[in-house]
């Protein structure tokens, strides 16, 4: 679809986000299954459920805009999800090192989603879609909270991944 207007770009971004939520759910499942730390597994599981709500919220947004959603493809998103699956398969790594990698992979996804939702929210506001902008802001806030939780968890868990310096 040629993007000639900001509205076209906005709809394309919503489609990217919609596809991203589906891919994120699968990636979080792989990360959760690979996590050795129960707090990390619980956080990833909670984010899976939250991503399902985000996808449903996007469907409501499409309905309000009278647009049929499509699951757009993104090389960046595919690469990030592939990295998640690859890092989840780090079977030879020490558990605490693998958990550090899993947190990093999840945060890569979160940062992509934060950027996407931030752009979509701004464009919705500029285009006069106040209700849509508000819904996107709620999702953006939730994505930021997940990222903050992952950061706090990483600050404690990553200490275990630091190898002791030989004397």
Given a cut of 80, whether residue 83 has pLDDT beyond it is no
Residue 165, in any domain of the structure: no
Structural tokens at position 48: 């899976």
> pLDDT value at position 30?
87
Residue 96, in any domain of the structure: yes
> Residue 74: pLDDT band by 50, 70, 90 thresholds?
low
Helix axes 130-161, 38-65, angle to 10 degrees: 160
Residue 125, in any domain of the structure: yes
Greater confidence (28 vs 7) lies with 7
Residue 2, in any domain of the structure: no
> pLDDT value at position 75?
64
* Contact partners, residue 44, CB within 8 Å, separation at least 6: 28, 31, 32, 35, 102, 106
Residue 1, in any domain of the structure: no
Given a cut of 60, whether residue 165 has pLDDT beyond it is no
Residue 166, in any domain of the structure: no
Q: Distance between CA atoms of 125 and 120, rounded to whole angstroms?
A: 9
pLDDT in tens, 89-135: 766 778 888 898 899 989 988 999 999 999 999 999 999 999 999 99
Residue 128, in any domain of the structure: yes
Q: Which domain holds residue 57?
A: 7-160
pLDDT in tens, 22-69: 888 888 888 898 899 999 999 999 999 999 999 999 999 999 999 999
* Contact partners, residue 67, CB within 8 Å, separation at least 6: 11, 14
Residue 106, in any domain of the structure: yes
> pLDDT value at position 93?
72
Instruction: Tally the domains of the chain.
Output: 1
Domain with 156 in it: what CATH number? 1.20.1260.10
Average pLDDT for 9-15: 94
């Amino acid at each position: 679809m040629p993007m000639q207007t900001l509205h076209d770009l906005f709809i394309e971004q919503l489609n990217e986000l919609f596809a991203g939520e589906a891919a994120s759910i699968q990636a979080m499942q792989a990360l959760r299954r690979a996590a050795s730390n129960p707090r990390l597994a619980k956080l990833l599981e909670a984010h899976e459920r939250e991503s399902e709500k985000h996808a449903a919220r996007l469907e409501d947004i499409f309905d309000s805009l009278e647009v049929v959603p499509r699951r757009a493809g993104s090389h960046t998103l595919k690469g990030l999800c592939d990295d998640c699956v690859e890092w989840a398969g780090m079977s030879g790594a020490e558990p605490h090192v693998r958990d550090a990698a899993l947190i990093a992979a999840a945060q890569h996804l979160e940062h992509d989603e934060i950027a996407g939702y931030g752009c979509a929210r701004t464009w919705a506001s500029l285009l006069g879609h106040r209700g849509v902008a508000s819904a996107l802001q709620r999702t953006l806030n939730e994505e930021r909270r997940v990222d903050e939780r992952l950061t706090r968890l990483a600050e404690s868990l990553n200490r275990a991944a630091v190898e002791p310096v030989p004397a």
